[in-house]
Structure 1
Amino acid sequence: MERETHILLFAYPVQGHINPMLQFSKRLASKGLRVTFVTTISIGNSMQALPSHSINVEIISDGSEEAKDAESIDASLERYKLHVSQSLSKLIEKHYSSSYPPKILVYDSIMPWALEIARKIGIDGVPFFTQSCVVNAINYHANHGAIQMPVEEGASISLPSIPSLGFDDLTSFLCDKGMYPAWLELALNQFSNFQEANLLLCNTFNELENEVVNWMTSQQWPVKTIGPAIPSIYLDKRLEDDKEYGVHLFKPDVDACMKWLDTKESDSVVYTSFGSLASLGEEQMDELTRGLKNSNCYFLWVVRETEQKKLPPNLLQETSEKGLVVSWCPQLEVLAHKAIGCFMTHCGWNSTLEALSLGVPMVAMPIWTDQPTNAKFIVDVWKVGVRIKLDERGIATKEEIELCIKEVIEGERGKEMKMNSVRWKELAKEAVDEGGSSDKNIEEFVAKLVNS
């Protein structure tokens, strides 16, 4: 059957935003839609072919070829918006006059201006939120003046449908406006025109964020949860050959990681990774090294090449029996391995969803953006982890790191966290499986498109 209903999807060009939207694209293609995934030059070269999922990939200019070396964040965002507005507009027009004009553009919520571009040409637009519904709700309240910014240390915030949040549980942008003004603006601007959209797509699942999803619905937000947007092999196994996301901004050392893990016993390894963007200071790297070493557990630690110069000089020799340090790894494969006992994580939303979906308890060490809020929920709401307490210098000490690892791997509370993790894993699988909450939402979205 010819795929007649055409949809365009456009993600913001960083790994944590591309991965979930690419997974959603595969789900749509599996339901019979003609799917075009749009990305920019700066990312296009990292994309792998996606033939088995019938997804067409289009690459547009984001002006990165003209970027200056010492470009500020503000200049970079301005350049991006200017170039993408033009190149995205041309791309939609090209497809609009083809045999299969697109009906809709699904765009990353941090680019609200994409809605206007789509509607000018005559198609509808739908924002795709890559953070949790709780974080979206907090940003919405901040945008509407319900949170006094910057939030002062010691303050606590009460918002509808969300547990009371302390200073350390809030998005870093809300606590220090001066530090990342451009990022704060991006986070809040998602809500500048969202009420003009007929639908809001969120990478989460109803059961995980039930209260806040119900609150959004009560406010007449047309919200649909479609996650967890991770490869099907780890959840419902309904998408053939869907074993990985399909984009690598860093080259993973697959063989070294998996062969090493195969030699370890069940639940004996601490997997440590702080994502594709976070950067730790030398002092913190030193404490982390000693904490991992003193825990006496095996550890697999991802340290990006740009960060490796911060490692203590003799680390590799001193820990060769207990630890493996790699520059990047296939995170889903690692988390799914029986040897992993816990995940020490920065609590980025994708990493959080992956750990929940694979039943792995966490040691939370949030660094910035939405990570402190995710950590709060990991510990106090979903009860699948512990959070590292920082000292007065803002450092996670070796003693604290060792203590937290041992609590998850060996402690009584660790057993409870493991049981809760397995329960969330089952609920995540049910959500995307046939008839589950996220699957129904995707089916409804597709049916509306096909019949409109």
Structure 2
Amino acid sequence: MGLHGQEQQHFLLVSYPAQGHINPVRHIAVRLASVTGACVTVSTAVSGHRILFPSAAGPDQEVNDGAVSYIPFSDGYDDGFKEGVDDSSRYASQIVINGSRTLSAILDRLEARGRRVTCVLYTLLLPWAVDVAHQHGIRSALYWIQPATVFACYYHYFHGYDKLITTHAEDRVPVVSLPDLPPLRIRDLPTFLTATSEDHYSKSILDNFRAVFDKLDQEDDGRRPMVLMNTFDSLEGDVLRPIKDKMEVFAIGPVVPKEIPTGSDLFKQDEKDYMKWLDTKPARSVVYVSFGSLSAVKRPQIEEIILGLKESGRPYLWVLRNDCREEGLELEEGDDGMVVSWCNQLQVLSHASVGCFVTHCGWNSTLETLTCGVPTVGVPQWSDQRTNAWLMDEILGMGVRAEVNEEGVLPAAELRRCLEVVMGEGEGGEGIRKKVEMWKEKAREAVGEGSSSERNLWAFLGEISARCN
């Protein structure tokens, strides 16, 4: 039996093998297990599983990590998808074929052990997991790992507003009005909605999103579809309310671990002692720069960042992945700056010396900086990041969005200007820091005992229990 006298549920969380998907899945898995007493299994592709658990005896070996078990499925690319080598459209078809077959085998294996799954939770880009669950007579729910505002943008695009958006897609300035959302410029919408080229990758991703929303349009034995969202009521309540008129939505965020995790990334931590270096810096003085796990930072942008950071005169910690470093590129380091290939971001953002986060505005990074109370300079790259930057700047007031040039590069002078606004002693910086503290407190309240997110998690568990009877 689980808590509150309910039958124990067994959730299988299925994640796309990317850092930005796996992290929120692992965090919600721990929360489901610890708060509700549910049995939880996580499944990502073999390539991601191998990196998470390099000491496992075999690539598909089940791993027990505390209250959560891990069993990988195969997407047909067990050595990982190689950007620029493998064909993205072929991968899109192969993950459906291989993923469906191997995920089905996992469900059979668990049932044979007396651990029957009662609900499949799937993330973005994996709509085929719904069909696998249905074939096994198992309930399913979408775990939406982007903000509710982005969910609403996609929903309206697939429900009659696609022509409004595509008509203006080549001009970033026009404002579009979508139901129940503030006015949004084209440049503030997710990139997959406004891509104008015949880019097969963008098209396949948009097709995947369309398939996800097609699944949500289908009733579950006469009941509305279920969606868990990594957001919270006081953050996006005005957007969540109209969505709840259409489906069962449970805001259970911010899904950020209470304790700083170690060894949970797909990238190896840099051996430099960056935390000790941060210890030597005054409070709120360090500029932390990171564009996440996927965005490719090219040489022209790197050179502008180097110049901008140097001219700002502020100490900085910069995450520049090894795959973004070109031969002959000199990165100045010393007492005033440190460049690392990867770091424990939550640990860095929690450090008192960090005064600003120059970020790509991925939703995980956005929630982490919000939870830690660090102002931002937004430099969105793609996907939901443009909308997230708009939220941080214009709605939450937690930072500024930097302006890039026609080549999409953030100039050194603009970086320097933004840092001065956010970290300076002027009225703008002071106002941003007050908003940051306010949202930090609201985020803390959202996940405390008896909080809105905890109540929503229990409501979700109750809904699953009702649908399983």
Q: Does the alignment reach a TM-score above 0.5?
A: yes
- CA deviation map 1:175-194 (0-9, x unaligned): 22433211222233321111
TM-score (norm 2): 0.89
Q: Does 2:171 match 1:171? A: no
Of residues 268, 275, 297 in structure 1, which corresponds to 2:285? 268
Q: Does 2:315 match 1:298? A: yes
Aligned to 2:431: 416
Hey, what's the Cα distance between the residues in 2 that align with 1:245 and 1:354?
15
Aligned to 1:46: 51
What is the deviation of 1:281?
Answer: 2.2
Aligned to 1:215: 242
Of residues 123, 127, 133 in structure 2, which corresponds to 1:108? 123
Q: Is the 8 A contact 1:230 1:245 kept in 2?
A: no
Hey, what's the Cα distance between the residues in 2 that align with 1:166 and 1:81?
34
Aligned to 2:60: none
Q: Is the 8 A contact 1:195 1:221 kept in 2?
A: no
SS at structure 1 position matched to 2:41: strand
Aligned to 1:369: 383
Hey, what's the Cα distance between the residues in 2 that align with 1:230 and 1:67?
27
Aligned to 2:369: 355
CA shift in 2, pair 1:311/1:328, >3 Å? farther
Hey, what's the Cα distance between the residues in 2 that align with 1:204 and 1:302?
26
Aligned to 1:157: 176
| Structure 1 residues 37-436: aligned runs within 5 Å | 37-48=42-53, 53-65=66-78, 70-148=85-163, 149-150=165-166, 151-153=169-171, 154-178=173-197, 179=199, 180-196=202-218, 198-218=225-245, 220-233=246-259, 243-244=260-261, 247-253=264-270, 256-309=273-326, 312-313=329-330, 315-316=331-332, 319-410=333-424, 411-436=426-451
Hey, what's the Cα distance between the residues in 1 that align with 2:434 and 2:65?
36
Write the letter of the residue equivalent to 1:362.
T
What is the deviation of 1:276?
Answer: 0.3
Aligned to 1:239: none
Hey, what's the Cα distance between the residues in 2 that align with 1:257 and 1:34?
37
Q: Is the 8 A contact 1:128 1:202 kept in 2?
A: yes
- CA deviation map 1:153-199 (0-9, x unaligned): 03221112222111221111222243321122223332111133531
Aligned to 1:29: 33
Hey, what's the Cα distance between the residues in 1 that align with 2:399 and 2:79?
44
CA shift in 2, pair 1:57/1:27, >3 Å? same
Write the letter of the residue equivalent to 1:227.
G
- Aligned-pair identity (%): 36
Write the letter of the residue equivalent to 2:207.
E
SS at structure 2 position matched to 1:147: helix
How many pairs align?
A: 439
Hey, what's the Cα distance between the residues in 2 that align with 1:272 and 1:20?
21
Q: Which ranges of structure 1 fall in alignment gaps of 5 or more residues?
A: 234-242
- CA deviation map 1:209-263 (0-9, x unaligned): 1111011123x22111111111123xxxxxxxxx317521111126611011000
Hey, what's the Cα distance between the residues in 2 that align with 1:131 and 1:254?
31
Hey, what's the Cα distance between the residues in 1 that align with 2:80 and 2:256?
32
Aligned to 1:237: none
What is the deviation of 1:339?
Answer: 0.3
Q: Is the 8 A contact 2:127 2:208 kept in 1?
A: no
Q: Is the 8 A contact 1:46 1:247 kept in 2?
A: no
Hey, what's the Cα distance between the residues in 2 that align with 1:329 and 1:60?
28
Hey, what's the Cα distance between the residues in 1 that align with 2:327 and 2:383?
23
Hey, what's the Cα distance between the residues in 2 that align with 1:297 and 1:80?
45
Write the letter of the residue equivalent to 1:306.
D
CA shift in 2, pair 1:158/1:56, >3 Å? same
RMSD of equivalent CA atoms: 2.1
Hey, what's the Cα distance between the residues in 2 that align with 1:354 and 1:254?
23
TM-score (norm 1): 0.92
Q: Which ranges of structure 2 fall in alignment gaps of 5 or more residues?
A: 57-62
CA shift in 2, pair 1:255/1:347, >3 Å? same
